[in-house]
Amino acid sequence: MTKRCCKLVNDQFQTDVPHIYAAGDVISFPALAATSMEQGRLASCAMFGKPGTFTPHLLPYGVYTIPEISMVGRTERELTEAKIPYEMGLARYAEIAKGLMVGDQTGLLKILFHLDTHKVLGVHVIGESATEIIHIAQAVMTLDGSIEYFRDSVFNYPTFAEAYKIAALNGLNKL
């Protein structure tokens, strides 16, 4: 059982009362609509004997402000505290055509990757469409992908997704 706020739930979101399941805000963090919906789906699956997989460390976070803010994976602070060697690649929206087209001169995309294995550890985006493009990183991280995936991929032009390639090249050039 994992203690979340005031409720106890297991990996299938079952409480300590076997026929009661809980999901979303009542089990606390992260209390996001998309996450709560997935927790509810997994709880329903478990109720009917069809449990699924939940990867809480790869939940995308989105803040719908101006500018949008989104992230998936670990932060630099978490990596530093865990003494995980990492490098960072950065792309500024001012460097990509789509950023120039929409007038977002302050947006950026940051990729954190393991210094030795090059596995993607976290991605943070601030700017236009941040909550849309974070899912590219989520998919790559779910498949245990490396920074080279972004370097070697062809992204439509002009798109915000192109920032992944720019950030990958920036990070790899630091090695």
The pLDDT tens digits for 4-54 are 444 478 878 888 888 888 888 777 666 677 778 888 888 888 888 887 877
What's residue 1's pLDDT? Answer: 44
CB 109 within 8 A of CB 164: yes
Count helices and strands (H / E) in the chain.
6, 7
- Ramachandran angles phi, psi of 83, nearest 5°: 55, 40
Statement: residue 85 has pLDDT above 90? yes
Single-letter amino acid code for the residue at 75: T
Residue 122 has pLDDT above 90, yes or no: yes
pLDDT at 44: 87
pLDDT band at 105 (very low <50, low <70, confident <90, very high): very high
Residue 9: alpha-carbon gap to chain centroid: 23
CB atoms within 10 A of CB 12: 16
The structure tokens listed for 156 are 């439509």
Topology annotation, domain 60-172: Enolase-like; domain 1 (3.30.390)
Q: What is the average pLDDT across 120-133?
A: 97
pLDDT higher than threshold 90 for residue 144: yes
Length, in residues, of the chain: 175
Helix (H) or strand (E) holding 72: strand 69-73
122: closest CA among 136, 137, 107? 137
Q: What is the DSSP letter of 146?
A: B
Average pLDDT for 87-102: 97
The percentage of the chain sitting over the pLDDT mark of 70, rounded to a whole number, equals 94
Cβ–Cβ under 8 Å, residues 135 and 60: yes
Q: How far apart are CA 54 and CA 56, in angstroms?
A: 6
Q: What is the mean pLDDT of residues 116-138?
A: 97
d(CA 71, CA 40) in angstroms, rounded, equals 22
The pLDDT of 134-155, averaged and rounded, is 97
Q: What are the boundaries of each domain within the chain?
A: 2-54, 60-172
| Average predicted confidence (pLDDT) for the chain | 90
Q: What is the CA radius of gyration of the chain?
A: 18
